[in-house]
Amino acid sequence: MIRLNSKTKLILTVAALGLTMLWFYHLEQNPRANGYLIKILERSAIYAVVAVAMNLMNGFTGLFSLGQAGFMAIGAYTVGILTIPVEARPNVYYISGVAPWLEKIEIHYLAALFLGGLIAAVFAALIGVLILKLRSDYLAIATLGFAEIIRSVIASPQMDTITNGSYGLKKILRFETIYTPFILSAVCIFMMVLILRSSYGRAFLAIREDEVAAEAMGINLFTHKELSFVISSFFTGVAGGLLAMFMGSIDSGTFRVTLTYDILLIVVLGGMGSVSGSVIAAFLVTGGREYLRFFDEPLKIAGVQISLFRPGFRMVIFSALLMIVVLFYRKGIMGDTEFSWDGIANFIYRFLPTGKARRGNGGRDE
**Which residues contact other proteins (rule: CB under 8 A)?**
58, 62, 64, 66, 130-131, 134-138, 140-142, 144-146, 148-149, 152-153, 155-158, 257-258, 261, 264-265, 268, 272, 310-313, 315-316, 318-320, 322-323, 326-327, 330
Integer angstrom CA distances of residue 3 from 17, 194, 228, 341, 346:
21, 24, 33, 9, 9
Question: Cβ closer to other proteins: 62 or 277?
Answer: 62
Closest CB 134 distance from other proteins, rounded Å: 6
Query: Nearer Cβ to other proteins, position 67 or 181?
Result: 67
Q: Is the dihedral of CA 152, 157, 158, 162 positive or negative?
A: positive
Separation of alpha carbons 75 and 119, rounded Å:
7
Of residues 13 and 319, the one with the C-beta less far from other proteins: 319
Q: How far is the CB of 355 from other proteins (least distance, A)?
A: 34
CB closer to other proteins, 157 vs 362: 157
Q: How far is the CB of 323 from other proteins (least distance, A)?
A: 4
Q: How far is the CB of 170 from other proteins (least distance, A)?
A: 21
* Contacts (Cβ under 8 Å, ≥6 apart) of 361: none
3-state secondary structure of 345: helix
Q: Which is nearer to other proteins, 35 or 298 (CB)?
A: 298
Q: Please, which residue, 17 or 308, has the CB nearer to other proteins?
A: 308
Q: Least separation, in Å, of the C-beta of 8 and other proteins?
A: 38
Distance in Å, CB of 268 to other proteins, minimum: 6
**CB 162 to other proteins: min, Å:** 15
With CA atoms as reference, report the closest residue to 234 among 360, 114, 314, 354: 114
| 313 or 339: CB nearest other proteins | 313
Q: Are 239 and 142 in contact (CB under 8 A)?
A: no
Which residues, 6+ apart, have CB-to-CB distance to 125 below 8 Å? 226, 229, 230
Q: Are 181 and 246 in contact (CB under 8 A)?
A: yes
| DSSP codes joined into one string, 256-322 | SHHHHHHHHHHHHHH-TT-HHHHHHHHHHHHHHHHHGGGGGS-EEETTEEETT-STTHHHHHHHHHH
